[in-house]
Structure 1
């Protein structure tokens, strides 16, 4: 997205427009155009308008419906990082055509490789379905993150509390963390907020709650570092979730970058899934080290990602350190 003058997150459709302009010259009658990128409601219709403007010699579904020369549909991707090819084939797909004929042609395409069910709806509902899925998760994560802050203030172990509450047959609280990352959950809810800013109150607040969590963790780290003349802070994890190398929108990476710019002390980063720090951190005072080195040198340990290597570590090695555990593994 882009930021408006008011600080709000606004949808940036320039990439879709660029793609439309790129494919428009080669379109032929009978072609099918599918938008898979997670997009705000109405983006597929806007795509069709751009194509129509570039190719007035062809008809499009907004004007000719089922009889249009070019069929246009939205089919949001549903894949989990690390399992993309597997989920591309096995997952159900929501097919949202701009007309019944558009949907039928899109289903015909996806059924050639999708083993899951192809579920037909209209383009706007298909767009909103993906945004809703990720916003639902964001709201539930925000509840857990807010609960963790409350528990800190009330001196309650949030991990024990969540386990106890989840024994209720209709309660399933997620585990809190240092924030929300990735290219979906941390982004998609803003598309709904941008579309209906006055109505999307809970969705907006969930985003604000989750975006604030990294700064809460940074405050905890700062207080811990103040206990030492020469603080050495080991941050365990940079990825946005466990056991992957994806750093997009990662709250862990954000926290480490903020610490690096604060002159708080020596910063060690442990990320077993990457070989080098991202380019924007190459000249920082952050050093990428092994877990053993971090546990040996650091006096403050911050668990930011629950990678399998961290969960399997001998927890007695943490005993003499100041621990800030945002993932509940220690």
Structure 2
């Protein structure tokens, strides 16, 4: 056999061997249609599932749910975390199926974070954490001409939500993300007047009502607000708007179209330290200390450097001889008949502007 012929036969034999080997590999790589998938080929991991309702509104409550699935072969211990990109009110404790289900709450400029301990979740088991929260009152309407935010950058009606699970070593093992979207028109239905709860009287306002707010903004937040007038000092007619906060009547006093002061004449609304209409002068002094006094709105008024921006009208019948009132002569039992949130000075002996 010539050398050339022998070479051709060798090359043909090599090619046939390679073809047979390739076919065998293909046969091993393609499983039969009836061959079950081996469980070992399925990745085992921890999963976090986040449920966010789709019909949220300002100043209304709804529930967030986080389900943790332990698909590993080991018990899972660590912590479950839930973050909302806004300062929401936590209404009730979680209803998780674990012994210790009370969430720890942390507030920051970015939002509200809740966390629960997760102890020894068995392999193949799951548990659910449910948390009811209340969204904040509607913000003041945007001024005309201000560019509206796009859906991607909207931080006024869209709040990011993130849930994540950390192991006992603090490392993140699962995460899920979603968003709370405030429905259009809810600022009128539940924007912060008739439905708002647990508001405090502060130097800036009461609940969603603020000093220097425009009357049009008040009507947007409080669609039930009605215009009213009454005789003021020296026979002048004053204008305002009657609204209700947490079921309590409130009078918004206007200067032109701007809120000049806010007046409370009935018991129910209180300051952050718990005083209001019906409290005694002794109650006020016990909480605020140094007391200033003068005449305002036709009655004796007291105010406190420790509580700027708020004045209290008393039922005392004492008559001052001049613009200054001797606070030491006022009876400790005198009760508050009226509160004003207003601008002005707050030191003695200057009388607060009204």
Q: Whose Rg is larger?
A: 2
TM-score, normalisation: structure 2: 0.24
TM-score, normalisation: structure 1: 0.25
* Structure number having the greater helix percentage: 1
